[in-house]
A and B are shown apart, each in its own frame.
Chain A
Amino acid sequence: MVKQMTRLLQTFMALLTLVFFINTNASDAKKYNPQPKALAFDVALSDVSIMAGSQQKAYLNINITGQPSGTRTKRPQTNIAFVLDKSGSMSGLKMTQAKQALEMAISRLHDNDVASLIVYDDEAKVLWPAATMQNPAQLLNTIKSIGANGSTALFAGVTQGSYEIKKYLDKNKVNRVVLISDGMANVGPSKPHELAELGRALSKQGISVSTIGLGLGYNEDLMAQLAGHSDGNHYFVENADKLANVFDSELGDIFSVVAQDININIICKGGVKPIRILGRDENIFGQNIKTNFNQIYGNQQRHITLELLIPAGHSGEKMSVADVIIDYNDATIKKQISHNNLVAVTFTDNQEIVEKDKNPLIYNNVNAYQANEMSKQVVDLRDKGDLEGAKKLQSLNISTLSKQVSSSKFPSKLKEQLEQEEQLLDSLDDANWNKARKQVRQKQHSIDTQQVKKDDNN
C-alpha cells in the first residue's frame, strides 16, 4: 500500500519535472526569436548641405512608422471610456444606432480589457464605472436603458470619462476616451480652445480622446481640437447608420496600437536655434525640445518637423545640428525602448550641391503643412462671411501647391493635398457649407496630427 503510494508520487514528480522542462524550453525559444521592433525611425534634415557664410533656415524631420500590426502576436490591452451624449437631440434613431454601435464595440472587448460608460446631458453621470470586462451582459443591459433628454454638458462628460480611465491608467494599456456627440456643448467650458487645452492636459497623462461628430449639428472645431490635442481620432459621421463602421475602425486603431507614450527629445547643438514644431504648439525653452505622441498604430506613419536656424559656417565645415532621443513603450511586450540619432550638416559654397542635397520628402511635408495652415485661414474667412476673400486665398493656395507639385521629385503626397484643397475651393460655394466644413475639418485634423496610414494588410 505504502509502496504503491510512493511509486505514484514518484511518477507524478517525474511528470511535473517534464512539464517544467518543456515550459522553460518554450520561453527560451521566445527569447531567441524576439518580436520585430514596434517602431522604425527616420531622422533627417531637409538640407544636408548648406550655403556657407550666413544663417540658414532648415527643417529637422523625424518620421516614425509603426510595424504592421499583422506581424505582432497579440493586441494591446485597452482601457476605454465610452462617453455618450444623451441630450435631447440624440433621441430617436441616433440613440438607437449609437447604442447598437456601443454594444458591438463592447462585444469585441476581452476579459482583461477595461471599459467604462459615461453619459451626459445637464450633467455627467458615470453609468458604468471602469472595470475589467468580467460581466459584459450587465453592461449591455445598462446601455439598453439609456434614454435621451436634457442639455449638453460635453466638457463634464469627457472629464468624468478621463477620471474613469485614470482608475486603471497604465502605460501598457491603450487609454482612450471615445466621445460621441451630435450637438453643441452648452453647459460648462465649450470654446474650442478650452477643449484643446483639456485635450493637451489629458494627452500629458497618456489619455487620448477620439471624437465622433454625429449629424450636422455638432461643433466640428471643438471636436477636432479635442481629438487633435489629445492625439485621438476625429470622425465626421453624417448618418447614424455609419456609426458602427466608425466604431469598428476606431477599435481597429486601438487594437493595432504598436507603441505608446512616444517621447521625442531633440537637443539642439550650440548655435542652432529651434523655432517651432510645425502643427504643434509646444513651448520651446532653450535648446531642448520635448514633444510626444500618445501612440502609433500598426502601419501608421507620423512625423515631427522642427523648424530651426543654423548659424553661419565656413565652407567645408561639418557641424552637428541636433541629438534626437526617442523612447517609447512597446504596446504588446510591455518594454521601454530607446532610440538615438545624431544629425549633421556640411557647409558649402556650391548652390548646386545645396539644391541637390535638399530632401524632397521633408519639403513635401513642410509644403503640405503650409497649405493646410492656409486652408484654415480660408475657412476662417468663409466663417466671417468673406466668401470672395476665401476663394481668392484658396486659389493662391492651390496655385502655390501646383507649382510645388510640378517641381517635386516625389509629388504623390502633395498631389493628394492639392486634390483636397481643390475640393475645399469647390465647397466654399456649396449650399451645404455646414457639412462641407465638417469634412474639411476632419481632413485638416489628420494632417495636423501627421497621420499617414499606409494600406493595411488586415
Chain B
Amino acid sequence: MYNKSNLLLLILFTLTVGVVGWLGYKLTSQQDQQIKMSQINRSEQSLDLVQNNISNYLNSKKQQLSEFIDKTPSEIDDNINRNPLIHHVIIFNKAKELIYPDDLSSQKHIIASQWLDSITVEQETSQNQVTRNNWFIWYDQQKEKYIFWQENTNKILLIEINNAMFMAEFIHYLAGQPNRTESAYLQIIDNSGRIFYQWGESDILNNADFDIQKSLVSPLSGWSLRYYSQIESLSSLSKGLFQIVVIGMLILLSIITFILIKLKQREQLEAQQRLSFINQVSHELKTPLTNIRLHGDLLERSIKEKPDNQNARQSITIIQQESERLSRLINNVLNFNKLEKDTLKLHYTNTDFNDLLQQAILPFMPAFEQHNINVEIDNKVLESVTVDSDVVKQIIGNLLSNIEKYANSSEIIRISSDNDTNGNINIIVQDEGNGIPNNVANKVFEPFYRMHSHLTDAAGSGLGLGLARELARLHGGDLTLLKSKQGAKFKISIEDQNA
C-alpha cells in the first residue's frame, strides 16, 4: 500500500514533468520550425531576385550579340578590333555560303561548318519571322568556348566570344550589384563545381544552417547560384526564460512531492501506533479480566465448600484490585479520548489530601508487596485541598503503574508532597529503576510512545505519561521529569482551587 502510493506519486510526478517539458519543447520547436520556414521562404524570394537579375544580365548579353546580324562588315571589323569580348564573327547565308568575313582559313572553315551542324537550322523560317538564337559550348583542345548563334530569315550568325572576357564582365557585374544581403552568403558555382565568385559575410558561410540552390540560364546553364544562411531561432533570452520556468516547476514539484511523502509517512506511523495501542490495550484488558474470572471461580468454589474461608477473602481482594486496574485503564482510554475532543470537565471537591494519597497508592500495594517494594510517603500538604480527586488519583496512579511495570526492581518508592508559594501542590515520585535516558526525556510524554515497543516487554498502553501530563496541565499544573541520579523522578504539580 505504502510502496504502491509512492510509485503512483512518482509516476504522477514524472508524467507532469514530462508533459510540461514536452509541451514546452513542442511549443518552442514549433515556433522554431515556423521561423525556419518563413526564413527559408524569404531566402527563396531574395534568391529569386538575384537569379532574375543574373538572367536579365545574361539575356542582355545575348541581345547585344544578336545585333551583329544586321551590322555592316566594317562595323563588325571595328567591333572585333575594339570589343575584347568578340573573338570571331562568322555569317553564313541559308545556303551555308560565307557572307562574313571575306575569307576563312580552311581550318577555321571546317570548324565553322561543325558549328553550323551543331545548331539545327530551320530551312523554313521564312514563313516564321521569329528569329532564333542561343548559345552552345564548343570544346577545342579541352578548352570550353562559348559560341553564340542567331538565325533570321536569310542569315546565320556565329560569334565566338573570348570566354575570359565574358567571365570578367560577369564578375564585374556581380561585384557591382547591390545584391548583398546581411544575412546571407552567395556563391556562383561553375559547371565543374568550382567556386566562380562569392560574396557576403564569410561568418555566415562557416555557420550556415541551410543552403538553397538555383540554376543559371544559358550559356551558364550548368552553373548554379547557391545561397547560404543561418536560422534566426527563438531569441536566447526567451529560451533561457523557458529553461528557468521549467527548472522552477521541477523544483516546486519536487518539494510538493517530498511534503506529500512525509505526510503520508506520518499518517502511516500514526495508524501503526493506533494499531499497536489497540493491541496493547486489549492485552492489558485481558490480564485483569482473566484474573477476575479465575478468582471469581475460586471464590465460588470456596464459598460452596467452606464459607468464611481465608482463601475467599484473598480472592475478593484480588478481584477488587484487578477491577480497579481495569477501571483505571478504561478511565485512561476514556479520558484520552475526552482530552483529544476537549470535553473533559473537572469536578473539584474538598478533599483530605492525605486520604487522597493513600487512596491513590492503595490499589498498587498488593503488587508492590509482591515485588518487595516499600513506599515512603512524606506529605507536607495541608489536610484540606480542593481538587478533582479522580484526576489527581489518576495522575499518581499512572506514575505508580509505570513503576510497577518498568521499575519493579526498586526497593523504595519515595513520594513527597508540599505546597509552593503559588498555592500549587507539588508531588514528587521517585523510583530506583533504570530511569529514563536524557535523549528520550521529552518523547516519553508523547501519546503511544513506549521506550521499548516490543510486545514481549511489560504491558502498557503508551498513553499513561502523556495523559497524566495533559490532566495535570488541565488541572492548572504540569508533569515534568526531573533529573535524578538513580531511577526516574517525576514532579506533579496541580493547582489547589482553595488556595
A interface list, Cβ under 8 A from B: 122-124, 150, 153, 155-156, 158-160, 162-163, 186-190, 193-198, 200-202, 204-205, 283-286
Contact = CB atoms under 8 A, between A and B. Distances in A.
Interface string B139-165: 000010000000000000000001111
Given A159-B168, A193-B143, A200 B199 contact: no
A187 B163 contact: no
17 contacts: A122-B198, A122-B199, A122-B202, A123-B199, A153-B197, A155-B168, A156-B197, A159-B168, A159-B171, A188-B171, A188-B197, A196-B164, A197-B162, A197-B164, A205-B84, A283-B105, A286-B105
A283 B197 CA distance: 31
Contacts of B85: 201
Contacts of A155: 167-168, 171
A202 B83 CA distance: 10
B195 interface: yes
Given A122-B202, A156-B171, A284 B105 contact: yes
A187 B103 contact: no
A187 B198 contact: yes
B175 A150 contact: no
Nearest to A200: B162
Interface in B167-218: 167-168, 171-172, 175, 194-199, 202
Contacts of B197: 123, 153, 156, 187-188
A197 B146 CA distance: 13
Interface in B90-104: 101-104
Contacts of A193: 143
B108 interface: yes
A286 B103 contact: yes
Given A150-B202, A160-B172, A188-B196, A201 B101 contact: no
B172 A188 contact: no
A303 B112 CA distance: 32
A382 B364 CA distance: 127
Contacts of A194: 163-164, 167
Contacts of A163: 172
Contacts of A285: 101, 103-105, 108
Q: Which of A186, A189, A283 has the most CB of B within 10 A?
A: A189
Main secondary structure of the interface of B (DSSP, over half): mixed
Contacts of B196: 187-189
Interface string B97-140: 00001111100100000000000000000000000000000000
A156 B164 CA distance: 11
Given A150-B202, A186-B195, A285-B105, 10 more contacts: A155-B168, A159-B167, A159-B171, A187-B196, A188-B171, A188-B195, A190-B194, A197-B163, A201-B168, A286-B103
Contacts of B101: 285
A283 B101 CA distance: 13
Closest 4 CB pairs of A and B: A197-B164, A198-B164, A201-B84, A201-B165
B175 A160 contact: yes
B202 A124 contact: no
Contacts of A190: 194
A189 B202 CA distance: 20
A159 B103 contact: no
Interface in B437-485: none
Contacts of A198: 164-165, 167-168
Nearest to B163: A197
A383 B338 CA distance: 114
Interface of B: 81, 84-85, 88, 101-105, 108, 143, 162-165, 167-168, 171-172, 175, 194-199, 202
Given A189-B196, A193-B143, A283-B108, A201 B171 contact: no
A153 to B, nearest CB: 7
A159 B172 contact: yes
Given A162-B168, A201-B162, A285-B103, A123 B175 contact: yes
A122 to B, nearest CB: 6
A192 B105 CA distance: 27
B138 to A, nearest CB: 14
Contacts of B163: 194, 197
Contacts of A195: 164
B98 to A, nearest CB: 11
A285 B106 CA distance: 10
Contacts of A124: 171, 175
Contacts of A156: 171, 175, 197
Nearest to B195: A187
Contacts of A200: 84, 162, 164
A119 to B, nearest CB: 13
A411 B175 CA distance: 52
A296 to B, nearest CB: 20
Q: Which of A160, A193, A197, A285 has the most CB of B within 10 A?
A: A197
Contacts of B102: 286
A188 B202 contact: no
B172 A202 contact: no
A124 B81 CA distance: 28
Given A283-B108, A285-B101, A286-B102, A189 B164 contact: yes
A171 to B, nearest CB: 12
Q: Which of B102, B167, B194 has the most CB of A within 10 A?
A: B167
Contacts of B162: 197, 200-201
A158 to B, nearest CB: 8
Contacts of A160: 171-172, 175
A201 B171 CA distance: 15
A188 B175 contact: no
A205 B196 CA distance: 24
Q: Which of A200, A201, A285 has the most CB of B within 10 A?
A: A201
Q: Which of B88, B143, B164, B194 has the most CB of A within 10 A?
A: B164
Nearest to B169: A159
A205 B85 CA distance: 10
Contacts of B167: 155, 159, 188-189, 194, 198
A186 B172 CA distance: 18
B479 to A, nearest CB: 90
A195 B162 CA distance: 11
A155 B170 CA distance: 11
Contacts of A196: 164
B84 to A, nearest CB: 4
Nearest to A290: B81
Contacts of B103: 285-286
A153 B202 CA distance: 14
A205 B162 CA distance: 13
A204 B84 contact: yes
Nearest to B190: A189
A220 B163 CA distance: 21
Nearest to B104: A285
